[in-house]
Amino acid sequence: MAKGLDPEFLSQLKSKNNLVEIVGNYVPLERKGGNWWGRCPFHHEKTPSFSVHPKKNIFKCFGCGIGGDVIEFTRMFYNTDFIGAVKILN
């Protein structure tokens, strides 16, 4: 987390940005049980191992091991830093 950013602001930013919708803009997702599954956008794979947990608003790839929240997904997808991801989501 970046120094100087209000934790309440970051919490609200994460709450207002639905990770399933954001990931779904770039990755076809299919609901299985309580999670959404798709192919990881960060490495090549043939079968879906990328999971999005809507209640927690987090993701995890069981193929390459990456995971995080909506800010981390945005940071990685757009190849930017933390502040850049916050700006994109705000």
pTM of the model: 0.90
Contact present, 19 and 69 (Cβ < 8 Å): yes
Contact present, 57 and 70 (Cβ < 8 Å): yes
Dist. CA 73–CA 35, nearest whole Å: 16
Supply the pLDDT for residue 83: 95
- How high is the mean pLDDT in each 10-residue block of the chain (90 residues)? 79 95 96 97 95 96 97 97 96
Max Cα distance, the chain (Å):
41
| Residue count (the chain) | 90
The strands making up 30-32's β-sheet, listed across from edge to edge, are 30-32, 35-38, 50-53, 58-61, 67-69
